[in-house]
Chain A
């Protein structure tokens, strides 16, 4: 085994063995991936079955797809979709308005405290939501923010703001410093540097960050369940209604769930590479 490779017979046999091993490993990879995807595929299939087929035991694999489940789910899906869209996009916009200037200042004018400030912002993500939910609930009740979209947007902004600052900070530090210096020589103000250089040059980063923030807000459950009930209930609350009585309608539940997860799946597949950066706060690139 430890001999230096040469062009003799054992090498050829080795090559064959490597080929077989590689094929086996590839098959294993596919099997694991299929196992992981199965629950989702099963859900998507059930969305096109009749209730009887969805409930059938042994399970039905061949069936004529129907669209009735989607039609049945849509009336209660649309109001929740509207709330989810407003909450996700609204909170992302607010997090950008607050976070972009901070990311810019920390990246371009780093003081000795900049790293500390960044770490502190990250540390707010370590605050479990249960540590703040009680006073926030009471506060929201007194301010009449319970079950309202502005209330939900405020909480989702808290959740996404550290993410926006961290990700945009890492994108903005990648802009060559010489560009800022050239602008300064020309007498550009801080605002001109921000709007004229930092923002236009970090557009791809902004797109990736926005996508992640929207996904997180879309999928959030804790604040949604505890701070909304009907008027502002987003999709997560709508789907949770299937956990009890409506869980008897598998096909309809699957259709609603499919409509809920599909946009996020597509976004996530597209932004796959940026996902790593956002999820690890830039620690692994």
Chain B
């Protein structure tokens, strides 16, 4: 088989034998690859391995193999269904809110008015704030039932004081995380809007398109990619929300704001139940990857149709 490609000319000299270490492109990629394999893939396989054992750090010497026992425990306890549901509600609710508020803000900022650049710059602030700072500031200074700013607003409007984190725990957490992530959506969506060529809009206007038609037929198709990027990136990030919950509600009251990452933290670092925490970790990774792969496919498909059309 190799005879077919053997060079027929005799003028080509064989490559000189390598002397010492020579930098090849592959050798440049391997350090990064190896590092990521060692710190993400290997531990994940260990997580899978642990998930099949009844392994508690309190009794480290006795860890019987229980097969899918941990998974069965997780999936049959209705409380855990609540945790999965919380994870989905938290991520989904925040995603929808940030898309709408961020989209509206992007359209508002995509006009010429005095102070536009400054507002755009300042608007990204809440995204840059450390999640744990967001949590402690909101919990103490805004949502506090007695001294919090929001309670004062409600009281001065003649309402009853509200203990936000106790009465509406999930809504409060969603509001907090929406505050953090709206600037991300706004930033990406605004960039998407700004890359829309003006002449297309002008042509549509000359053809007598109404603002609604203009939005539906010109802005939206162009915007799709930016929206998909927001959906993908936020889904991955919001399924992993941890610091905000750790800093504000600690998953409570009860299980009201416990999502999968916080649940795993509790199982592993409060109950030392490594086996159960690992099984929950595996489920989270599977859930995230199913969603991410689905969303990535969606993005690739739209990109191809965009290029084709």
Whether A264 lies near B280 (C-beta < 8 A) is: no
Which residues from 288 to 302 on chain B have a C-beta closer than 8 Å to any C-beta of chain A? Answer: 288-289, 292, 299
- Within 8 Å CB of A57, what residues of B? 146-147, 151-152
Question: Which of A8-16, A66-74, A158-166, A179-187 lies at the interface?
Answer: A158-166
Given A135-B47, A254-B137, A283-B229: A276 and B187 within 8 A (CB)? yes
A243-B32 contact, Cβ under 8 Å, with A32-B108, A33-B122, A268-B128 = no
The A contact surface, by secondary structure, is: helix
- On whether A98 and B149 interact (CB within 8 A), knowing A130-B264, A280-B188, the answer reads no
Q: What B residues does A283 contact at CB under 8 A?
A: 225, 229, 299
B2 close to A (CB within 8 Å):
no
A27 to chain B, nearest CB (A): 10
Q: Does any Cβ of B come within 8 Å of A78's Cβ?
A: no
Q: A59 vs B156: C-alpha distance in the bound complex, in angstroms? A: 11
Q: Which of B221-274 contact A (CB under 8 A)?
A: 225-226, 229, 233, 236, 239-240, 242-243, 246-248, 260-261, 264-265, 268-269, 274
**A22, A137, A239, A269: which contacts B111 (Cβ < 8 A)?**
A22
Q: Which residues on A sit within 8 Å (CB–CB) of B52?
A: none
Q: Please give 9 more A-B residue pairs, beta carbons under 8 A apart, in addition to A157-B39, A240-B246, A279-B184.
A: A37-B126, A39-B142, A39-B179, A128-B261, A131-B282, A132-B43, A132-B281, A158-B36, A280-B233
Is B50's beta carbon under 8 Å from chain A?
yes
B124 located at the interface, meaning its Cβ lies under 8 Å from any Cβ of chain A in the complex: yes
A207 within 8 A of B: no
Q: Is the CB of A55 within 8 A of B136?
A: no
Q: In the complex, what distance in Å separates the CA atom of A226 from the CA atom of B182?
A: 28
Q: Sorted from nearest, which 10 A-B pairs have the closest CB atoms?
A: A221-B243, A135-B46, A101-B28, A109-B25, A102-B32, A105-B28, A132-B43, A131-B285, A105-B25, A268-B128
Contacts of A32 in B (CB 8 A): 101, 104-105, 108
Question: In the complex, are the beta carbons of B44 and A133 less than 8 A apart?
Answer: no
> Which B residues lie within 8 Å of A33 (CB)?
105, 119, 122-123
Residues in B with CB closer than 8 Å to A279 are 184, 187-188, 233
Instruction: Say if the beta carbon of A30 comes within 8 Å of chain B.
Output: yes
Determine if B195 is an interface residue (Cβ-Cβ < 8 Å): yes
Beta-carbon nearest neighbor of B123 in chain A: A33
- Encoded as 1 (CB less than 8 Å from any B CB) or 0, chain A from 120 to 159 comes to 0101111111111111111100000000000000110110
Query: Could you tell me the distance in whole angstroms from the C-beta of A15 to the nearest C-beta in chain B?
Result: 14
Q: Cβ of A284 and Cβ of B124 under 8 Å apart?
A: no
**What are 17 residue pairs bridging A and B, where the CB atoms are less than 8 Å apart in the complex?**
A1-B210, A32-B108, A33-B105, A36-B182, A39-B141, A42-B141, A98-B35, A117-B33, A128-B240, A131-B285, A132-B39, A158-B36, A243-B132, A243-B247, A265-B129, A269-B121, A272-B187
Residues in B whose Cβ lies below 8 Å from that of A29:
105, 108-109, 113, 119
User: Cβ of B130 < 8 Å from any Cβ of A?
Assistant: yes
**Does B23 count as interface, using CB distance less than 8 angstroms?**
yes
A99 at the interface (CB under 8 A from B): yes
Instruction: Enumerate chain B residues within 8 angstroms of A56, measured Cβ to Cβ.
Output: 147
- Tell me if A36 and B126 are in contact (CB < 8 A): yes
Cβ B136 vs Cβ A253 within 8 A:
yes
Whether the pair B36, A162 counts as a contact (CB closer than 8 A) is: yes
Is B16 an interface residue when CB atoms closer than 8 A count as contact?
no
B267 to chain A, nearest CB (A): 9
> Chain A residues with Cβ under 8 A from B83's Cβ?
none
Question: A132–B130 contact, CB under 8 A?
Answer: no
Distance between Cα atoms of A171 and B232 in the complex (Å): 22
Whether B184 pairs with A265 at a CB distance below 8 angstroms is no
Contact of A284 among B104, B133, B225 (CB under 8 A): B225
* A206 contacts the other chain (CB 8 A): no
